[in-house]
Amino acid sequence: MKLIPHPAAQILVWIALALLAQRLAALPLLLLSAVLFGLALRFCAAQLLSLLRRTRWIMFSLLLIYAYTTAGTAVWAQLGMISPTREGVLDGLLQLGRLLSVLSGLAILLAMLPQEQLISGLYTLAYPLRWLGLSRERIAVRLALTLQYAETAMRDTASDWRATINDALQPASAGAKHIELRLQPFGVVDVLLVVAIAFMLLGGAR
């Protein structure tokens, strides 16, 4: 019996943790965020710091929006209406905690799943789209090409942004004609994990 969960099951775990983080109160959320952040910092610090760097302005804006749009007691009474509120700052920090837990979990997920396995997991989870007449194969190919282009573009932009812009303005060249995915069946561990996720979400919804 394999012990490493199916890529689709690992993605479902991350989705479940992201949903759970939205429902937790301050203290349980602090514990969840601390655990995920600590694990991410221990096993995939570079991935985590990259995600935090890319979202730093979103985090800063989120805190400002809550701090200045939530009614409550002014943090600095002498500033009057231009002072942030204590309730707003606390709500903003709560939202930052939720975002931090999601990003930490995402960093761990990306570190555990190479690009091929990530696409394989998303391909498996996209099975219900067949009922709507959509092609999972086309979605997987487009996702793979998008991830490949995005990774290359971010790497090249960091070294030479002018050349990257010039390349983006050039006519598109022929890309990969096909992508090979190694699909694996669900095992006992995967089934148990999905069942545990379902019970966790059902229990959190009450």
pLDDT tier for residue 172 given thresholds of 50, 70 and 90:
very low
pLDDT digits (tens, 9 = 90+) for 186-198: 777 777 877 887 7
Inter-axis angle of helices 7-23 and 86-112, nearest 10: 170
Query: What is the model's pLDDT at position 158?
Result: 45
Whole-angstrom distance, CA of residue 50 vs CA of residue 61? 18
Contact 1, 189 (CB under 8 A): yes
Q: What is the CA radius of gyration of the chain?
A: 21
Distance CA 191, CA 197 (A): 10
CA distance 204 to 23: 7
pTM of the entire predicted model = 0.76
